[in-house]
């Protein structure tokens, strides 16, 4: 198996190539509104590091959110296009599950994952100590999350953005494509269709003509 994995549901763009044994190429960048410009070069860089061409791939995995509309759409559409044009097996994974899988071994307790949803909100989900999702994903004000789950450690950029309420991140801030590849290869995460998890309407909507 040669798996290309990436996530664009947060300001971080993360890409990894996994050969079934280890990560053989990786790349990334950051730009809250530049996912469309950064993802393709990052994919090329990761493939170049691995010494592979797109036609060598067998699978593609992508974080399907939740996340802001534009960045999330870039990743999902890219995965759909690669899957269709190259005949790859496709794997969609909740972005919060990627963070949870990476954070769980170091926490050893129930915890939350929270990413920045803008509009002073967070996307969040609750996890068991082994990284299994128990509740969510949902979108709420940080104060609402804190009132419900005060005392639980929180992982993710949302905890840092709203540190005065959520106390700062107790683990990785952004998802890692290497972690995404690992959980897909291990069969340790729910695989979802390649459909974006927006959880709310985009900022730009058509004007009602009625």
To which residue do tokens 């998802």 refer? 175
Question: What CATH number has the domain spanning 96-166?
Answer: 3.30.420.40
pLDDT tens-digit map of 123-154: 999 999 999 999 999 999 999 999 999 899 99
- Over the range 156-186, which residues count as b (16 or more CB within 10 Å of their CB) and which as e? bbbbebbeebbbebbbbbbbbbbbbbbbbbe
Map tokens 């990476």 to a residue.
Answer: 102
Q: What's the CATH code, domain 3-95+174-186?
A: 3.30.420.40
Q: What is the pLDDT of residues 77-131, one digit of tens each?
A: 999 999 999 999 999 999 999 999 999 999 999 999 999 999 999 999 999 999 9
Closest CA to 123 of 157, 173, 169: 157
Token pair in block for residue 134:
């128990």
Q: Token match 């963070």: residue?
A: 99
In the chain, where does the domain assigned CATH 3.30.420.40 lie? 3-95+174-186, 96-166
pLDDT in tens, 27-66: 998 877 778 889 999 999 999 999 999 999 999 999 999 9
């Amino acid at each position: 198996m040669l798996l290309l994995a990436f996530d664009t549901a947060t300001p971080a763009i993360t890409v990894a190539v996994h050969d079934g044994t280890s990560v053989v190429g990786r790349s990334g960048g950051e730009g809250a509104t530049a996912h469309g410009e950064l993802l393709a070069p990052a994919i090329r860089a990761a493939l170049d590091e691995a010494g592979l061409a797109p036609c060598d791939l067998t699978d593609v995995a992508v974080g399907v959110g939740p996340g802001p509309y534009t960045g999330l759409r870039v990743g999902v559409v890219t995965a759909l296009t690669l899957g269709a044009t190259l005949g790859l097996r496709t794997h969609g994974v909740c972005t919060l599950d990627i963070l949870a899988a990476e954070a769980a071994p170091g926490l050893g307790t129930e915890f939350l994952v929270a990413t920045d949803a803008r509009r002073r909100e967070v996307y969040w989900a609750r996890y068991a100590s082994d990284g299994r999702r128990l509740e969510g994903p949902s979108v709420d004000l940080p104060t609402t999350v804190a009132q419900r789950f005060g005392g639980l450690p929180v992982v993710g950029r949302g905890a840092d953005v709203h540190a005065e309420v959520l106390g700062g991140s107790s683990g990785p801030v952004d998802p890692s494509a290497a972690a995404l590849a690992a959980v897909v290869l291990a069969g340790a995460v729910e695989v979802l269709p390649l459909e974006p998890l927006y959880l709310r309407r985009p900022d730009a909507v058509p004007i009602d003509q009625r």
